[in-house]
Structure 1
Amino acid sequence: MEEIVKSLPQHTSSWSKGRLTYYMYEGFWVMNSFLEGVILAQRYKAEPNDVFLCSSPKTGTTWLKALAFAIGTRNKFDETNSPLLTTLPHDILPHLGLFHQKNSSFPVVATHVPYASLPKSVLTSNCKIVYIYHNIKDVVISHYHFIREIKKLTMEDAPFEEAFDEFCQGRQRLVIGRTTSRTR
Structure 2
Amino acid sequence: MNKAIEDLVISNFGREKWEAVKERSGVEVDFFIGNQPYADEVTYKLAQAVSDEMEMPQAEVLQAFGEWWVLKTGKEKYGGLMQAGGQNLKEFLINLPEFHNRIMLIYTRLTPPEFQVTDIEENSLHLHYFSKRQGLQEFVRGLISGLGKMYDCPVTIELIESRLAGHDHEVFKVNW
TM over 0.5: no
Q: TM-score, normalised by structure 2?
A: 0.26
TM-score, structure 1 as length reference: 0.26
Q: Higher helix proportion, which one?
A: 2
Q: Which has the higher contact order (CA 8 A, sep 6+)?
A: 1
